[in-house]
Amino acid sequence: MGKMTSLGRFVGEAARAIRNHDYEQTDSGIYFPKAKVTLGGSLRHTLIKADGERDVAVDPNLLTTEGLNYILSAALGGGSQQPSFYLAPFSGNVSPQATWTAANFKSNATEFVAYTASNRLAWTPGAVNNKSIGNSGNLADATATFSPGGPYTLYGVGLLTAPAKEATTGVLIAAVRFGTPRTGMAAGDKLAFEYVLTAADGT
């Protein structure tokens, strides 16, 4: 990708584009044709079975309108910043929509809560590097260990700002549907989530 477009110019164009619905949902995220900028991310999740077997998959995210508004406001519009972010798996056989919000994520996605952590899984990103930010160095906090019961099936995960399981407050930044559902999850199995958000020139 090319050099990052000037954010000072981009924020005004992006705000107008959102109001006028002048943007496109793509596999890479949200693309603003006039600014030629893509905001998007990907989720790498690793299944770690109780017997040690591992399987890795990478899927593109959908950045919600609520999440995009928050990013622009917090970074460039003088808005308040959320102090923490959390990953919440879901068990609904649904595809995320741009209109999803933190208020309706629980019901739209059927948030999954049968893992041993008392709260949603903390997403703790490192420093921005090459126009990307992610939690590659902090996967331990973003690892779910499944509770007894099941077997469970997971279809995706959301990135939110509220810590409590099934909370309906805060902001839904993004949501990901797995390319292949994770089926047959049982007690002792784990899923480790690595989420990376990128903002860069796109065409």
The answer to whether residue 190 is domain-embedded is yes
Residue 3: the pLDDT is 35
Is the residue at 17 inside a domain?
A: no
The tokens for 190 are 């784990």
pLDDT at 145: 95
Structure tokens at 81: 């910043």
Total number of domains constituting the chain? 1
- Taking each helix axis as running N to C, give the angle between helix 65-76 and helix 7-19, from 0 to 180 degrees, rounded to the nearest 10: 150
Q: Using a cut of 0.75, tell me whether the model's pTM lies above it.
A: yes
Tokens encoding 108: 């739209």
Q: Which domain holds residue 180?
A: 40-197
- Is 35 contained in some domain? no
Residue 45 lies in a domain: yes
Burial of 13 (0-12, 13-18, 19+ CB in 10 A): middle
- pLDDT beneath 70, residues of the chain: 1-40, 76, 199-203
Residue 202 lies in a domain: no
- pLDDT value for 203: 46
Q: How far is CA 161 from CA 34, 50, 58, 70, 93, in A?
A: 30, 30, 22, 11, 23
